[in-house]
Amino acid sequence: MSDSAEYSIRVLVSSGSLGSGVREDEIAMGLAKGANVIATDAGSTDSGAAYLATGISKNSREAVKRDVTLLMKAHAKTGIPIIVGTAGQAGGDLNVDWTRDIFTEVAGELGLTPKIALLYCEQSKEAIKRLNADGRIKPLPPLGPLEGGTIDACDHIVAVMGVEPFIAALDGGADIILAGRATDTAVLACYPLWKGMPWGASWHAGKTGECGVQCAVKRDGAGILLTVDADGFSVEPLSETNYCSTESVSAHMLYENSDPFRLIEPGGILDVTAARYVQADQRSVRVTGSAWVPSSYTMKLEGAGGGKFQTIMLVGIQDPDVLADIDSFHDNLLAALYDRVRKTMSSQE
């Protein structure tokens, strides 16, 4: 690392989704390595629109409370802030309030009085119709123009936030930020940007770490540590038995993104065409050359409403090795699920 990179910001990404199972030993490692902030996404559209339509979370309250307890204990020990994006799975106002109630409950149990900032992003149907009539809402391919009937059918509509609301909350002295729907990347990029780190490196680090340990070679563990400085960023898993490779890190630009070199975000485009990935040591990868290209400020809209029917997916298995010993497959899968539930829903002393 060059002299210009001596000052750095370390982002502890506790997991890919709040409630999926934060590891206490990983949090301890991240803090020992000098983490300046804890940041995590809490939502996804992968499981469908129901969580926005109903205002509920896919992850159970018990699982989320377990993770929140570990994060708030880390905050109490170090004073570093906690940043959560797309709260309660979908980021609607009801989802944010549900998450807020868990944080305030845990704060009371731990005897803490943190300053909590709530970032809401729901839009009224009237406002959306007015903007649509003014030509300010553009369809995403392959869809056509937004119809008034589609707007009326939505129970909740959210606008996907960038880094600016997070930075405003940090300016206001927030200890904990609970945000509505936001880009996964913005949740992790906001703190380094607030501290003056380069836009290209900060956004690329955020993209790399958005799903926690998924940017590593193995799915061993949950969290990672991002180190952003004036020259670029580094990434390493928080499990000693795992490691990042140049392939695992560079490949994450393709995750939920059709272009491996460009990522569109509110207010600009992350361009990694000139990015270079180097194996810094056995466990970490160093990335330089990422660029941020400012552009017109746009925010994606997501809307959902209740319907008359629910879709159920049936999955079949044709793998001959599985079918040859279906009982062992069933027993191993059930054991893995039980182990996951015990790790993510165990009570905290």
In order, the DSSP letters of 169-198 are: HHHTT-SEEEESSB-HHHHHHHHHHHTT--
What distances in angstroms separate CA 261 from CA 140, 252, 276, one per listed residue?
20, 11, 12
Question: What secondary structure does DSSP assign to 128-156, as a single string?
Answer: HHHHHHTT---PPTT--PPPHHHHHT-SE
Tokens linked to 5: 């990179």
Token code pair at residue 40: 């995590």
| Mode of pairing for the β-strands spanning 8-13 and 262-265 | unpaired
Cα separation, 341 vs 240, whole angstroms: 23
For residues 130 and 121, give the distance between their C-alpha atoms in angstroms, rounded to a whole number: 17
Q: Transcribe 95-123 into DSSP letters.
A: HHHHHHHHHHHHHHHHT----EEEE--B-
Q: What is the phi/psi pair of residue 314, to 5°?
A: -105, 130
The distance of Cα 236 from the centroid of its chain, to the nearest Å, equals: 17
CA 229 from chain center: how many Å? 21
Question: Which portions of the chain are predicted below pLDDT 50?
Answer: 1-5, 347-349
Q: Letter for the amino acid at 296?
A: S
Structure tokens at 185: 């990347």
* Separation between Cα atoms, residue 12 and residue 24, nearest integer Å: 12
Quote the tokens at residue 73. 């204990």
Q: What does the alpha-carbon distance between residue 173 and residue 167 come to, in Å, rounded to a whole number?
A: 10
Cβ atoms of residues 12 and 227 within 8 Å: no
Token pair 């056995």 is at which residue? Answer: 282
Contact 304, 125 (CB under 8 A): no
CA distances from 237 to 72, 102, 192, 224, 231 (A): 21, 27, 19, 4, 21
Q: How far is CA 329 from the centre of its chain?
A: 32
Cross-strand pairs, 301: 159
Which contiguous run of DSSP H or E holds residue 279?
Answer: strand 276-279
Q: What is the pLDDT of residue 349?
A: 42
pLDDT for the residue numbered 14? 97
Strand order in the sheet with 291-294: 262-265, 268-271, 291-294
Q: 285-288 and 82-89 as β-strands: parallel, antiparallel, unpaired?
A: unpaired
Please say whether the beta carbons of 212 and 218 come within 8 A. Answer: no
